[in-house]
Amino acid sequence: MLKMRSIAAASALAIGFTALAASPAGAVGTGSGGEHEYVVLFAEGTSSADARAAVEAAGGTVVSENDAVGVATVQAGDGFTAAAADQAVIQGTAQNRIIGGVPGAGAAKGKAKKVDAAERDLTEGATLAKGAAKGKAKAPAGKGEPLASLQWDMQQIGATADGSYKWQKGSKQVKVGIIDTGVDGTHPDIAPNFDNALSRNFTVDVPVDANGADIDGPCDAEPDASCNDAANVDENGHGTHVASTIGSPINGLGMAGVAPNVSLVNLRAGQDSGYFFLEPSVDALTYAGDNGIDVVNMSYYVDPWLFNCTNQPEDSAEDKQEQATVIEAMQRALDYARERGVTLIAAAGNEAIDYTKPMTDATSPDFASVPGEAAYVRDLVDPASCVSMPAEADGVISVSSTGVSERKAYYSSYGNGYIDVAAPGGDVYDTADDTRDITKGILAAYPESLGAIEGTIDENGEPTTPAVVKSCDTSGKTCAYYQYLQGTSMASPHAVGVAALIVSQYGKVDPKTGHTGKTLDPATVEQILLGTATAKDCPVPADFTYTRHLPAGNTVTATHTCEGDGSPNGFYGAGIVKALHAIGR
């Protein structure tokens, strides 16, 4: 599947790489003597010996290699990028930079955190609409899990007790990889489906920035008292929410996911702060390809560039080659995974922009290794030569977000030829009076240890905010926590869950592919996913105006234009995914 914005260079978390544990991405930043850590991309077909020789000739030392994709992590001093450019087998470099400044980031307890507008709109001064449920909810007998009545998202796609659950809950032989900030594998509503043995952590938290201010640290203050987390830990909450939407089990506790019987695999590539570096993303994808993962969810873009451009006038020559390196390295890793049976699905983005039109990018680069560095405005970013990874990569299914009324969410990015399908991701302003109601977000699992640190769960185990819900089983002995979030990050896992049901329904065991369970060609999965989505036309008029009456008292409006005659179109792609239809019902 070709994307409109892919460029020539591209033709958005084991086996295949060595010495990975020696230096996880982000562990090494600027050190004494101007030492830095780089991701180095080699020309295809370069041998390991030639690669190492080229790095040494440029003044660097190889720390780890990913032979499957042709990249290496290298430690080197100032001037390495220029020296590497003189080596024929080195195609590009990108610095693994620790955070020196985070422009526009929200701060929580003194820590910098990557927060977008969709998340901020949900969490700041969260209030419930009058009469909305708070704290706990119980579904009618025989009608699903206790919190099923709050899962409007599952009702929208037919993943309910009376819908797809009756016919196909998913197979344990189907493995779903969550490339995210981690997954709390001990969460009671995730643990039954969590594959601890196969899960991996490909990154390490960055304790402080270049000024010494806390980013993910101090390490001893984290829930597990470590910046090098186990593969069943999530100290951000994002990845746990995603995993829960995909595959929380039917167990009489809380909620159920789209595919409540599939195996969930944590392939952590994102740090606690919410930043995703190139190296762990590449390593997570190649690991997925080598270890029989069937579908992966990618609800992020590779930092620091929202859009990777190859000829943007404002960018320096070094920045241009770094962005070209991100595009090529990610495309190779995505191709590697897809060729080995991994269906690739990604969030479309929360920038509320049309990705097929020239636009302004004032967010890139969104972190820096040198104090004082910050994002700068890139005017009229060219959609023909810029690409957001992984969402705009070849072979990736991009997902826009819908609200409870099925309108495209106000924050969801869009574009005719960019969006493949839509799925519920929440829209807290999709209400009768355009005021905020957090129950119009998406409810899914929340790590208890994180809630205790963030102050959203008190010392008695009770939620302190309506954005968090507690649910216990009938015995009252096992309780768990859930939070409302919104974003295309929440839409993508709904599509992933449906894709997992497709593999469960139609996949076969084929040892030749390296899969130990069921497998199905990604092209077939995509065909069924798009073909069974419910087509939804552009609104009439196609220039749709969103109105939001914010809690502060001000009103914000924005107009988005939906292009496309019928289906597919720029808001919904082929339509809204449907779990029941995808399994032939």
Mean pLDDT of 363-391: 82
pLDDT digits (tens, 9 = 90+) for 152-172: 999 999 999 999 999 999 999
Percent of the chain scoring above 70 in pLDDT: 85
**Was domain 106-539+569-582 assigned CATH 3.40.50.200?**
yes
Query: Would you give the end-to-end CA distance of the chain in angstroms?
Result: 26
Number of other CB atoms surrounding residue 375 within 10 Å: 20
Per-residue confidence band for 367, with pLDDT thresholds at 50, 70 and 90 = confident
> Any idea of the CA torsion for 453, 458, 460, 463, to the nearest 10 degrees?
-120
Q: Count helices and strands (H / E) in the chain.
A: 11, 25
Residue 34 three-state SS: helix
pLDDT digits (tens, 9 = 90+) for 108-137: 344 567 778 788 787 665 554 443 444 444
**Cα 24 to the center of its chain, rounded Å:** 19
Mean pLDDT of 556-578: 97
> HEC string of 314-359?
CCCHHHHHHHHHHHHHHHHHHHHHHHCCCEEEEECCCCCCECCCCE
Pick the more confident residue, 512 or 485: 485
Q: Specify the pTM.
A: 0.91
Residue pair 292/56 in contact by the 8 Å Cβ criterion:
no
pLDDT for position 24:
33
Mean pLDDT of 235-252: 97
- What are 244's two structure tokens? 């829960």
Most distant pair of Cα atoms in the chain: their distance: 70
What does the alpha-carbon distance between residue 179 and residue 279 come to, in Å, rounded to a whole number? Answer: 13
pLDDT digits (tens, 9 = 90+) for 182-222: 999 999 999 999 999 999 999 987 776 655 666 666 778 77
Among 12-16, 166-170, 270-274, 358-362, which stretch is predicted with the lowest mean pLDDT?
A: 12-16
What does the alpha-carbon distance between residue 278 and residue 302 come to, in Å, rounded to a whole number? Answer: 6
Question: Which residues lie across from 429 on neighbouring strands?
Answer: none
Q: Which amino acid is at 211?
A: N
As annotated, the residues of the chain forming the CATH 3.30.70.80 domain(s) are: 30-95
Residue 363 has pLDDT above 60, yes or no: yes
As annotated, the residues of the chain forming the CATH 3.40.50.200 domain(s) are: 106-539+569-582
Question: Which residues lie across from 200 on neighbouring strands?
Answer: 267
Under 8 Å CB-to-CB from 578, ≥6 apart: which residues? Answer: 157, 158, 498, 532, 533, 534
Per-residue confidence band for 9, with pLDDT thresholds at 50, 70 and 90 = very low
Instruction: At 254, give phi and psi (nearest 5°).
Output: 70, -110
pLDDT for position 36:
83
Query: Which CATH architecture best describes the domain 30-95?
Result: 2-Layer Sandwich (3.30)
Under 8 Å CB-to-CB from 368, ≥6 apart: which residues? Answer: 97, 99, 100, 101, 304, 374
Under 8 Å CB-to-CB from 468, ≥6 apart: which residues? Answer: 446, 451, 456, 457, 481, 482, 483, 484
Q: Which amino acid is at 204?
A: V
Pick the more confident residue, 32 or 57: 57
Q: Which amino acid is at 310?
A: T
pLDDT for position 156:
98
Residue pair 548/434 in contact by the 8 Å Cβ criterion:
yes
pLDDT for position 67:
92
Beta strands across the sheet bearing 263-268: 200-201, 263-268, 175-179, 295-298, 343-347, 396-402, 421-424
Residue pair 347/487 in contact by the 8 Å Cβ criterion:
yes
Tell me which residue of 286, 324, 365 sits closest to 6, measured CA to CA: 324
Report the chain's mean pLDDT, rounded to a whole number: 87
Mean pLDDT of 398-404: 98
pLDDT digits (tens, 9 = 90+) for 276-327: 989 999 999 999 999 999 999 999 999 989 999 999 999 999 899 999 999 9
What does the alpha-carbon distance between residue 243 and residue 194 come to, in Å, rounded to a whole number? Answer: 9
What does the alpha-carbon distance between residue 476 and residue 10 come to, in Å, rounded to a whole number? Answer: 53
pLDDT for position 227:
79
What does the alpha-carbon distance between residue 231 and residue 267 come to, in Å, rounded to a whole number? Answer: 8
What does the alpha-carbon distance between residue 469 and residue 446 come to, in Å, rounded to a whole number? Answer: 9
Strand blocks (E) in 106-235: 106-108, 111-113, 175-179, 200-201
- What are 292's two structure tokens? 């029989």
Mean pLDDT of 74-81: 91
- What are 395's two structure tokens? 């072979």
Place of tokens 């960019």: 418
What does the alpha-carbon distance between residue 214 and residue 211 come to, in Å, rounded to a whole number? Answer: 9
Per-residue confidence band for 65, with pLDDT thresholds at 50, 70 and 90 = very high
Taking CA atoms, 460 is separated from 176, 222, 455, in Å, by 35, 20, 12
pLDDT digits (tens, 9 = 90+) for 410-465: 999 999 999 999 999 999 999 999 999 999 999 999 999 999 989 999 999 999 99
